[in-house]
Amino acid sequence: MVSRDALAVRLFHASMQIITSERELEQIDPTEGQLMVEVASAISAAVAASDGSIKDLFEDVARSVSRIEGHGAGVAFWSAWLDGLAEAAPNEDDADFDDLHAMFDEAFDDVSHALASGLCDVAPTDVLAVACVAVAECDDELDAFDAAADASERTVTGDTDVVTLALVRFLRGMAQA
């Protein structure tokens, strides 16, 4: 089991991974890099202000990102992903592996729908797909975060877009307890 508070800490670490990668992200694309830092800042602020169940936490995070102005493909990706995580999140204070697996599956479904609608790009969606497969192949909720991070890092080689790199950094942060 992973507690709501442990998930909040993981979300905070994940957002900090993006924020501390600001220079790297902005070197790839200054505008999109700054937008990813804004997404991460919104996530960390929402985590700090949220209380309630795991579902409440992820709903607060998703809502904070959906309010970011200047929506582009990057924000659409993050909004879809976080909305999916929130939709499947348990309305409890603890989550087991089945809960996390369902959250990743729902999030991938939401991102796939956004991709089919032309709202987000293929590259981060492909990386998320690999991370979701890695989660499905785990048998422990704590290993799931490491597996998702490892798989996403193996998938990205060479030049990549800002949203994909931010996702990889975020998943690595989620692996930090």
Do residues 109 and 122 lie in contact, with contact meaning Cβ atoms separated by under 8 Å?
Answer: no
3-state secondary structure 135-170: HHCCCCHHHHHHHHHHHHHHHCCCCCCHHHHHHHHH
The pTM for the full model equals 0.93
Give residue 71's pLDDT.
Answer: 66
Please give the CATH architecture assigned to the domain spanning 2-174: Alpha Horseshoe (1.25)
- Average pLDDT per run of 10 along the chain, which is 177 residues long? 96 97 95 94 97 97 90 88 96 94 94 88 90 90 89 85 94 91
pLDDT confidence of residue 122: 87
Whole-angstrom Cα distance, residue 59 to residue 140? 24
Map tokens 């290993």 to a residue.
143
> What is the token pair recorded at 53?
């169940």
Closest CA to 39 of 8, 16, 23, 5: 16
Q: What is the pLDDT of residue 72?
A: 79
